[in-house]
Structure 1
């Protein structure tokens, strides 16, 4: 529709004292906005008004005032208001924002961030030694934040348009043989008998027990750490006596052969383990925050709440553990910490000397989560379908949401029996070249 009687149908134009032209127009909410730019010619101002009117009609208009918000403020609000984020995810997002995004882009107005700026930001991260994997995590967070900004019409479109920048290739992780799992389970509870004391010259003297008799090591060590490592090595290679705390043996076996995450296995209660039915029920999981606090909540995914079969071969170890270390109450923790509370991963690593144990076994760098990965690989070899495997592992995605174990219990017995065959045949496993083999994680 044409303008009549010298009046514009949409917005208005005024000439400023400088001789340049400025526009004003009503937004979709009816509130008048003043253009952020001025124009040398009136025709340029008219063209700008026509463009804004077309954007409003198409639903593509963005409020320039809202776009002035700094990325730091917008992203912090985005994280705080994002529904359904797990506590550890919140911690990760806040850390990524503080460490890798805010120092580069935090003070930039959201509307001013361009694809070129994002590309330069990513290049700077990689140039400063940030790994490709960490840069991908930061990029995905930035992309998600700005996608919401685009959806909310704060910006016209998401500037994160760099092909492959958010791709993160999973690092290959080791898969243990069944024999290695049992060896690891036996090793984590062994502790050498002895002590380390500081002598007058600032060095350290080591005493150890051998055949029931305490002896003094002939060498004097410069640091306590060196003395501790020497004591540990003597216990592992048989030159010194050891105690054997078997409370973690069942933990390693169950986490591996039932494909449990750390948070899941550490949250198990006596009532969750049914040795007669050979099942373990996963209902909740502990999440350790970056602040050090423990939060008890649902498993990692909706499919994480499940019931998993226990191989018959590890039932005796679980029975011994429950009779020896677990209180009789149904709500008693299966794997309590030193003071009876929840077992923390750091406490477990310290008490078992996890790093030293796996290094001595030739598995340097092995993570506790690799036990679950090993169990997943054994389960996959049973030959059952993908959905049945996902149910046992507690995996969830858009194609397999809300998978509950009771729907595939028969298939899970097939998986459990297949794992039993692996365990039963462990005596036949020797140096067959499979130890420590690397395969992609699921």
Structure 2
């Protein structure tokens, strides 16, 4: 039985246990219930000093419930994800990262037991078995979960403190020349020819191109209206979503030199009606990355490209070509990037500077085609 001769204090008490060690007890500031400190102490003096520290932490508002950190990471991460407001595709990606890369290492551990050293060792092991972009994403999510745990006062400090772990240097991607763009467009299946040209000379993303409808194509003014982007779930389900930001909804002028290709494509390959998809898969269904990837690789090889260009590199190519003579504001608007004054995106730009950018791209197309024909 514990020795009850411990001296009472204004705040809490210190008492000697049967083992001879000393224990401190105090009132939980949240519940008012009497609780014992987790540690015991060799001397009465040590116990009283510890009690003084606890009292000071409570007074300064820095005290945290010692039991809070005993919450396990797995259930907490699951609840954290459930509470996030995320688009369906983003939620699926977060769930996949948590399940595949976080739970196997940290799922059964208490929040309070996770240290910076453990985070560092986990990150190193991840880098040995998967790509850096995935590891960066996993680290970002881990840090976000533990930041919320700090806000919930379950832990005092986030152990994700590895400098530079939340970012990576994107490798420089190739920029194709206008003749190379046309070489691939000429080599690919005819139903995808305009897809290649639009990707390069409007800089739309694959998802934005895949979701285009006939009513989004203005052949009179040589312009597209981006209203949505197609997303694909891991289950294979396709759906249209709003762009990532208001800046993603935008008009984009295309070179008038593409008008013959546009009219030919709409007549031969687009879905029927105003809401028909501009680009369809080989069997007439919706365009998917999976049913296009093989055609892209084959065309790239047939065109004799010496660089390992991805389809997305066409957007990089178009942005680089358009950069000549365009202001940062004009480029960001054309590319669909957010700006502090995103409302400007809704101003009609087809007959203004965006048309000038498209016309400059058109002059590059004419020159490249003339050189090829000569």
Which interval holds the TM-score relative to the shorter structure?
A: 0.7 to 0.9
1:67 to 53, 66, 69: 69
RMSD across aligned positions (CA): 2.4
CA offsets 1:244-274 (integer angstroms, 9 cap, x no match): xx22111111122111111111011111111
Matches within 5 A, 1:175-186: 175-186=175-186
Corresponding position: 1:254 with 2:198: yes
Partner residue of 1:286? 230
CA distance 1:328–1:28, shift in 2 (3 Å):
same
* SS class of match (1:387): helix
Residue number in structure 1 paired with 2:321: 378
Q: Where do 4+ consecutive residues of structure 1 move more than 6 Å? A: none
Mapping 1:31-70, distance limit 5 Å: 33-70=35-72
Question: Within 5 Å, which residues of 2 pair with 1:12-411?
Answer: 12-20=13-21, 21-28=23-30, 30=32, 33-83=35-85, 85-126=86-127, 128-189=128-189, 246-350=190-294, 352=295, 354-360=296-302, 361-363=304-306, 365-381=308-324, 383-396=325-338, 399=340, 401=342, 404-406=345-347, 410-411=352-353
Give the SS at the match of 1:134: helix
Q: How high is the TM-score relative to the length of structure 1?
A: 0.75
Residue 319 to residue 14, structure 1, CA distance change in 2 (3 Å):
farther
Aligned equivalents of 2:275 and 2:230: distance in 1?
Answer: 15
User: Any stretches of 5+ residues in structure 2 without a counterpart?
Assistant: 1-6
Seen in structure 2, the aligned counterparts of structure 1 residues 339 and 356 have a Cα distance that, compared at 3 Å, is closer
Per-residue CA distance 1:380-426 (angstroms, 9 max, x = gap): 12x222122111101126x4555514265522122212211211211
Q: Secondary structure at the match of 1:162?
A: coil
- Structure 1 residues 61 and 293, CA gap change in structure 2 (3 angstroms): farther
Aligned residues: 363
Structure number with higher helix proportion:
2
TM score, norm. by length of structure 2: 0.88
**1:339 Cα deviation after fit:** 4.4
User: Aligned partners of 1:250, 1:123: CA distance in 2, in Å?
Assistant: 44
Confirm or deny: 8 A CA contact 1:60 1:153 kept in the other structure: no
